[in-house]
Structure formats: C-alpha cells, structure tokens
Amino acid sequence: MKMISAVIKPFKLDDVREALSGIGITGLTVTEVKGFGRQKGHTELYRGAEYVVDFVPKVRLDLAVSDEQVDSVIEVITQAAGTGKIGDGKIFVSNLEHVVRIRTGETNDDAI
C-alpha cells in the first residue's frame, strides 16, 4: 500500500475528487494548508486576485491506496488538478506498512 499526498489548488478539490471517484477511490482526507513554492516573492493567482504575500492557500489530500492503484491515481490527480499555470501543485508517494479500519478491524488492502 502507498500513501499518496497531493498539494493542490483549493478550487480544484471537487474536480479531483470526482475524477478519483471515477476510478473507484472514495476514501481520502483533506487538510487546509499554506504553500510556499518556487515563486517566492512573485505573485500567484488565487480566487481571481493576485497574492503578493509569499504563501498561497492550498489543500492537501492524503489517500491510502493499494499498490495497483498508484499509477492511475497519480495520472488522475495530475490531469484533474492541472491548469497549466504556476502553483498547480505536487504529488508525494510514500510506503504504507499497515492500515486498520477501526469499525470492522479489517486490515491492509481490505481496510482501504
């Protein structure tokens, strides 16, 4: 299993969730974060306004997925989150050793 963490533009959250749903992914956790990227000091558009501060509101998605789902999840997030403009975000993949679904006690792939 892998944990896929993606930091994306907040207005893209619904598109990304729908696209993920389309490939069978329903479980995910969303955190509101502040992002600092390469354009420090430059401006970035957010809700039609230019941000002159050097951080930008982003959302972070965390998804535990099975090994087989990793490639399609990355592809779907990349396509659904992309605008072609700076600040589109990043995807980080790390290994997941163990998962438990609390209500049922199921573990690992059955728990995702």
Ligand X SMILES: Nc1ncnc2c1ncn2[C@@H]1O[C@H](COP(=O)(O)OP(=O)(O)OP(=O)(O)O)[C@@H](O)[C@H]1O
Cα–Cα distance measured from residue 78 to residue 61, given in angstroms and rounded to the nearest whole number: 13
The answer to the question of residue 23 lying near a copy of itself (CB under 8 A) is: no
Closer residue to ligand X in complex, CB, 21/39: 39
- Residue 12 contacts ligand X per CB under 6 A: no
CB nearer Mg ion, residue 31 or residue 83: 83
CA distance 83 to 96: 30
30 binds a copy of itself per the rule CB under 8 A: yes
User: d(Cα 28, Cα 86) in Å, to the nearest integer?
Assistant: 25
Contact flags string 40-69 toward ligand X, x per CB under 6 A? ----------------x-x---xxx-----
Cβ contact 81:30 at 8 Å: no
